[in-house]
Structure 1
Amino acid sequence: MTRTLRTAVAVAAALATLALAGPAQARPFDPRPGADGAGDPLFPTLGNGGYDVQRYDLSFDFTPVTYDFHAVMKIKAKATQDLSSFNLDIDSLAIDAVEVDGEKATWSVTTGRSGQELTVTPAAGLHDRRSFDVAVTYHGNGRTTPVGVPGWRYMSDGGFASAAQSSRADTFAPVNDTTMDKARWSFHLTAPKGWTAAANGTATGTRKAPGNRTTWDFRVDDPMASELLGISVDKQTKIEGRGPHGIKLRHYVPEDQVATYKPIVERTAGQIAWLEKTLGVRYPFDTYGVQIVRDGYSDALENQTLSLFGPGWFKDAATSTGYTDVMVHELTHQWFGDSVTPTTWRSAWLNEGPAVYYAALWADQRGTASMEEKMRTAYGNLDAVRKSDGPPGRPTELGGFNIYDGAAVTLYALDQRVGDHDFDALMKSWLTKHRHANADSEDFIDNAVTVTHDPSLRPFLEDWLYSEDNPPMPGHPDWK
Structure 2
Amino acid sequence: MPLTSRRLRAALLATASVTLVAATLPAPQALGIGDRLFPHLGNPGYDVLSYDISLTYKGRNTEPLDAVTTIDARTTAPLERINLDFARGAVRSVEVNGLPADFATAAEDLVVETPSRLPAGMPVRITVRHTSDPSGDKANGGWVPTADGLAMANQADAAHRVFPGNDHPADKAFFTFRVTAPKNLTVVAGGLPGGKRDDGDTTTWTYRTEHPMATELAQVSIGRSAVLHRTGLRGLPVRDVVPAADRAKLEPWLKKTPAQLDWMEKQVGPYPFETYGLLVADTETGFELETQTLSLFERSLFTGTGYPEWYVDSVMVHELAHQWFGNSVSPQSWSDLWLNEGHATWYEARYAEEHAQKPMERRMREAYARSDTWRAAGGPPARPDVPTPDHKISLFRPVVYDGSALILYALREEIGEAAFDRLERTWVRVHRDGSATTRQFTELASRIAGRDLTAFFDGWLYGTKTPPMPGHPEWRTETPRSAAGGQGPARAPKPE
| Structures share fold, TM-score greater than 0.5 | yes
Is the 1:98–1:104 Cα contact (8 Å) retained in structure 2? yes
Is the 1:34–1:85 Cα contact (8 Å) retained in structure 2? no
SS at match of 1:122: strand
Partners of 1:150 and 1:378 lie apart in 2 by: 29
Is the 2:281–2:297 Cα contact (8 Å) retained in structure 1? yes
Partners of 2:66 and 2:469 lie apart in 1 by: 55
**Percent of aligned positions with the same letter in both sequences?**
38
Partners of 2:142 and 2:64 lie apart in 1 by: 15
Structure 2 residue corresponding to 1:414, chosen from 401, 407, 411: 411
Structure 1 residue corresponding to 2:280, chosen from 284, 292, 299: 292
What residue is the counterpart of 1:154 in the other structure?
145
Greater Rg over alpha carbons, structure: 1
Is the 2:134–2:144 Cα contact (8 Å) retained in structure 1? no
Pair 1:372–1:319, CA change in 2 (3 A): closer
Is the 1:317–1:323 Cα contact (8 Å) retained in structure 2? no
State the number of aligned residues.
440
SS at match of 1:99: strand
Is the 1:34–1:48 Cα contact (8 Å) retained in structure 2? no
Shift, 1:155, TM fit: 1.3
What residue is the counterpart of 2:490 in the other structure?
none
Partners of 1:401 and 1:297 lie apart in 2 by: 18
TM-score, length basis structure 2: 0.86
What residue is the counterpart of 2:445 in the other structure?
448
Structure 1 residue corresponding to 2:54, chosen from 46, 59, 77: 59
Structure 1 residue corresponding to 2:225, chosen from 231, 236, 245: 236
TM-score, length basis structure 1: 0.89
What residue is the counterpart of 2:71 in the other structure?
75
What residue is the counterpart of 1:200 in the other structure?
190
Shift, 1:141, TM fit: 3.3
Is the 1:297–1:309 Cα contact (8 Å) retained in structure 2? no
Shift, 1:298, TM fit: 3.3
SS at match of 2:116: coil
Counterparts of residues 25-104 of structure 1 (less than 5 Å) = 36-65=31-60, 66-104=62-100
Partners of 1:458 and 1:99 lie apart in 2 by: 49
SS at match of 1:461: helix
Shift, 1:242, TM fit: 0.8
AA matched with 1:286: E
Consecutive unaligned residues of structure 2, counting only runs of 5 or more, are 1-27, 386-392, 477-496
Is the 2:333–2:437 Cα contact (8 Å) retained in structure 1? yes
Pair 1:400–1:318, CA change in 2 (3 A): closer
Counterparts of residues 186-335 of structure 1 (less than 5 Å) = 186-209=176-199, 211-279=200-268, 281-314=269-302, 315-316=304-305, 320-335=309-324
Is the 1:353–1:406 Cα contact (8 Å) retained in structure 2? yes
Structure 2 residue corresponding to 1:136, chosen from 128, 134, 139: 128
Shift, 1:417, TM fit: 1.2
Consecutive unaligned residues of structure 1, counting only runs of 5 or more, are 1-32
Partners of 1:144 and 1:379 lie apart in 2 by: 38
AA matched with 1:333: H
Partners of 1:74 and 1:193 lie apart in 2 by: 25
Partners of 1:400 and 1:319 lie apart in 2 by: 23
User: RMSD value over aligned CA atoms?
Assistant: 1.8
SS at match of 1:189: strand
Shift, 1:144, TM fit: 5.1
Partners of 1:423 and 1:429 lie apart in 2 by: 10
Shift, 1:318, TM fit: 10
- The reply on whether 1:168 has 2:158 as its aligned counterpart is yes
Most deviating of 133-142 and 167-176 = 133-142
Shift, 1:462, TM fit: 1.6
Pair 1:318–1:145, CA change in 2 (3 A): closer
Shift, 1:34, TM fit: 9.5
Partners of 2:306 and 2:426 lie apart in 1 by: 36
Is the 1:284–1:334 Cα contact (8 Å) retained in structure 2? yes
What residue is the counterpart of 2:432 in the other structure?
435
AA matched with 2:410: A
- The reply on whether 1:473 has 2:464 as its aligned counterpart is no
Shift, 1:64, TM fit: 2.1
What residue is the counterpart of 2:118 in the other structure?
126
Partners of 1:357 and 1:144 lie apart in 2 by: 33
Partners of 2:263 and 2:136 lie apart in 1 by: 43
Shift, 1:319, TM fit: 6.8
Pair 1:149–1:463, CA change in 2 (3 A): same
Partners of 1:296 and 1:268 lie apart in 2 by: 23
SS at match of 2:368: helix
AA matched with 1:309: F
Is the 2:141–2:155 Cα contact (8 Å) retained in structure 1? no
Partners of 1:141 and 1:64 lie apart in 2 by: 13
Partners of 2:429 and 2:458 lie apart in 1 by: 23
Alpha-carbon displacement from aligned partner over 1:255-307 (angstroms, at most 9, x marks no partner): 1111011221111110010000012x100011111101122433100001110
Pair 1:319–1:332, CA change in 2 (3 A): closer
SS at match of 2:406: helix
AA matched with 1:271: Q
